[in-house]
Amino acid sequence: MRKKFRMELSEILELPMDISLDLPRVVIVGDLGVLISNHRGLIQYSPGRIVVGVGAGQITISGDNLEIEEVGKEQMAVRGIIKYVEMNTV
Amino acid sequence: MTLRRLIGYVLGYVRVQARGKNPERLVNLCVCSGFPVWDIALIDDHLYFSTTLARYKQIRPLARKSMCVPRIVKRVGIPFLIGKIRRRPVFILVSIILLAVLFWLSGSVWAISVKGNVKVSRSDILRVASDNGLAIGARKSYVSIDNLQQAIAIEFPGISWVYIRFQGTLAVIEVVEKVRPDMPGPGDIVARKDGVVESVLVLSGVPLVQPGQTVKKGDLLIAGVPSGGIQGARGNVTAKTWYEVVNEEPLSRLEPVRTGRKKEARVIRVRDTEFLLFPWGTLFEWYEIEQYPITAFGKGEVAFAVEIFMRVFFEVTWERKEISIEEAVANAQARGKRAIESRLPSSAKLIDFSYEASGDAESVLVRVVAGTIEEIGELAPWPSYENGGW
């Protein structure tokens, strides 16, 4: 109910959904890297798979030679050969 | 290198190996605590990440919380470099001494190059340079370039320009030598041909002729003044001069006349070689030729490589033709005028032509005389200055 209200409000006020609804923003740079904004921390890391927590679930990045280039409170930059980016909501 | 890494290098950062059940939790705790974390990689089941040196000192409680054991595997950055250097004082001392010696040696001249000299010898220039402080081993700061340039210019009158510069430990002396124009030495102005003087313009010297005066080749026109320096004669003397041509023109001449007999032949030309295809019998003793193209083969660059044309031989006989005296005189005059015009120097200005005709029963003799105005003065150098005295 609260989420629906915030969606309607952001539509009326023409605000970006990711900010008003506290959603993650994922930028995929070809198959070279992924930039995730508004994450909630690293859940699992291996060179073939990275799982990152986001507000409403998890984002799974699959690929080869994956490395976390930089991680901060808001943003996480992943580089490597990206094969899949998957969003799992709970 | 990102800005964060650059700052990390300046402030010093460490590469941390995290061992434990959940190293990802340590990373998350570090991030939450405001640690800058980058370059996270998993190698041989151990998680590695980089963080700043200052923050690493606060990592222990977080490690306990995440049940991980952090260990520094690499130290990068200027603070660690300074630490290493501090442990080797002799190395530092020797390096500083070496740098100081290098710096001191670079302030000296170790080679001298001389450029642009042809007549003035290199050793002479180097001798003057050495006398004024520029020698191998001299300190560059003690060399006064302005004074040295002046000294070289004064010492060698044949040098018009000197420039000295340093390229590291090399001193380059660039010189430009004077180039004297190839001028004849001072002397008198004499007539180079006969004529009647029209005008005399004297720039220096004493004029010896006046307008209207007749002069012969070699006559002195303007005399130089040898005393009081080497003031030779300079000036222009124009005079009226004459050019003469005598032409003989016969009153009759042989001309070819076609008899009406002719022979035709086909000719094929390949490049520059001709082949006569159908020569019928022997040709005439005297003949004229006319030819007409028939076919050409080839295009572009090889156009007309092969050509076929018709060549017509007209038999001729020679007949004597009488020429009137007026026509012969006119022909001789025209020929004479053309001959004179082709002989006239470019400086001569043509004024008029005059003709005289005489002759006998067989030919006329026409004398063509052209009057011109031209410069007749030429410099005759004095014997002692013949090789140029300027």
pLDDT tens for B113-122 read 999 988 889 9
Residue B307, pLDDT above cutoff 70: yes
Among left, alpha and beta (phi > 0; psi -120 to 50; other), residue B94 is alpha
CATH no. of B3-83 = 3.30.70.260
β B111-115/B170-177 pair status: parallel
CB contact under 8 A, B40 and A73: no
**pLDDT tens digits, residue range B105-157?**
999 999 999 999 888 899 999 999 999 989 999 999 998 999 999 999 999 98
pLDDT band at B302; cut points 50, 70, 90: low
**Which residues from chain B sit within 8 angstroms of residue A71, using beta carbons?**
27, 31, 37-38, 40
Of A41, A46, A73, which has the smallest distance from its Cβ to B42's Cβ? A46
Question: Given 2.60.40.2000, 3.40.50.360, 2.60.300.12, 3.40.50.150, which CATH number is that of A23-89?
Answer: 2.60.40.2000
Per-residue pLDDT at B390: 43
Which tops the pLDDT comparison, B384 or A8?
A8
Residue of B nearest to A68 (CA): B40
CB contact under 8 A, B40 and A71: yes
Residue A36, pLDDT above cutoff 60: yes
**Which residues from chain B sit within 8 angstroms of residue A70, using beta carbons?**
2, 4, 37-39
Residue of B nearest to A46 (CA): B42
Min Cα distance B140 → chain A (Å) is 53
Residue A43, pLDDT above cutoff 60: yes
**Which residues from chain A sit within 8 angstroms of residue B4, using beta carbons?**
70
**Cα–Cα distance for residue pair B164/B175, rounded to 1 Å:** 9
3-state secondary structure of A32: coil
Per-residue pLDDT at B198: 92
**Which residues from chain B sit within 8 angstroms of residue A41, using beta carbons?**
24, 28, 31-32
pLDDT band at B304; cut points 50, 70, 90: low
Residue A6, pLDDT above cutoff 60: yes
Task: Indicate the average pLDDT of chain B.
Answer: 86
Report CA B241 to chain centroid distance, whole Å: 42
CB contact under 8 A, B34 and A70: no
3-state secondary structure of A73: coil
Per-residue pLDDT at B279: 63
Give the CA count within 13 Å in the CB-facing half-sphere of B33.
Answer: 19
Mean pLDDT of B359-382: 88
Residue B267, pLDDT above cutoff 60: yes
Domain ranges of chain B: 3-83, 111-177, 254-318, 323-375
- Asked if the C-beta of B20 comes within 8 angstroms of chain A's C-beta atoms, the answer is no
Which tops the pLDDT comparison, A84 or B227?
A84
Report CA B48 to chain centroid distance, whole Å: 67
What DSSP assignment string belongs to B256-267?
A: EEEEEEEEEEEE
Residue B17, pLDDT above cutoff 60: yes
pLDDT band at B299; cut points 50, 70, 90: low
Residues in contact with B338: Cβ distance below 8 Å, sequence separation at least 6, in sequence order: none
Per-residue pLDDT at B229: 58
Which tops the pLDDT comparison, B18 or B274?
B18
Residue B389 φ then ψ, to 5°: -120, 10
Comparing CA positions, the residue from B347, B383, B384, B380 lying closest to residue B189 is B380
Mean pLDDT of B89-114: 93
Cβ atoms of A70 and B37 closer than 8 Å: yes
**pLDDT tens digits, residue range B320-340?**
888 888 888 998 899 999 999
Structure tokens that stand for B177 in this block: 């030598």
In this prediction, what percent of chain B has a pLDDT beyond 70? 92
CB contact under 8 A, B34 and A42: no
Residues in contact with B6: Cβ distance below 8 Å, sequence separation at least 6, in sequence order: none
**pLDDT tens digits, residue range B195-226?**
999 999 988 888 999 999 999 999 999 988 76
pTM metric for this prediction: 0.42
Of A42, A46, A47, which has the smallest distance from its Cβ to B27's Cβ? A42
**Cα–Cα distance for residue pair B297/B295, rounded to 1 Å:** 7
CB contact under 8 A, A47 and B31: no
Q: How many CB pairs under 8 A join A and B?
A: 46
**Cα–Cα distance for residue pair B238/B222, rounded to 1 Å:** 12
Which residue has 């008899």 as its token pair? B259
Residue of A nearest to B5 (CA): A70
ipTM over the 0.85 cut-off: no
Residue B305, pLDDT above cutoff 80: no
Mean pLDDT of B296-304: 61
Which tops the pLDDT comparison, B278 or A61?
A61
Ranked by mean pLDDT, which of B86-100, B182-196, B266-280 comes out on top? B86-100
Residue A29, pLDDT above cutoff 80: yes
In this prediction, what percent of chain A has a pLDDT beyond 70? 97
pLDDT band at B53; cut points 50, 70, 90: confident
Instruction: Report the residue of A35, A36, A40, A42 to disrupt the B interface, i.e. the one with the largest count of B CBs within 10 Å.
Output: A42
Instruction: Report the residue of A51, A67, A70 to disrupt the B interface, i.e. the one with the largest count of B CBs within 10 Å.
Output: A70
Report CA B1 to chain centroid distance, whole Å: 50
Cβ atoms of B146 and B350 closer than 8 Å: no
Identify the bridge partners of residue B371 per DSSP, sorted by sequence position.
B242, B352
Which tops the pLDDT comparison, B375 or B303?
B375
Domain ranges of chain A: 23-89
Mean pLDDT of B357-386: 84
Residue of A nearest to B26 (CA): A42
**Which residues from chain A sit within 8 angstroms of residue B27, using beta carbons?**
42, 45, 71
Per-residue pLDDT at B384: 64
Residue B381, pLDDT above cutoff 80: yes
Residue B61, pLDDT above cutoff 80: yes
Residue A79, pLDDT above cutoff 60: yes
Cβ atoms of B41 and B109 closer than 8 Å: no
- Asked if the C-beta of B36 comes within 8 angstroms of chain A's C-beta atoms, the answer is yes
Per-residue pLDDT at B357: 85
- Asked if the C-beta of B27 comes within 8 angstroms of chain A's C-beta atoms, the answer is yes
Min Cα distance B26 → chain A (Å) is 10
Of B4, B24, B40, which has the smallest distance from its Cβ to A67's Cβ? B40
**Cα–Cα distance for residue pair B242/B344, rounded to 1 Å:** 10
Buried b (16+ CB within 10 A) or exposed e, B75-97: bbbeeeeeeeeeeeeeeeeeeee
Instruction: Report the residue of A40, A43, A45, A73 to disrupt the B interface, i.e. the one with the largest count of B CBs within 10 Å.
Output: A45
Which tops the pLDDT comparison, B301 or B153?
B153
Q: At what angle do helices B3-11 and B78-86 cross, to 10 degrees?
A: 20
- Asked if the C-beta of B213 comes within 8 angstroms of chain A's C-beta atoms, the answer is no
Question: Given 3.40.1080.10, 2.40.30.10, 3.10.20.310, 2.30.110.10, which CATH number is that of B111-177?
Answer: 3.10.20.310
Residue B6, pLDDT above cutoff 90: no
pLDDT band at B309; cut points 50, 70, 90: confident
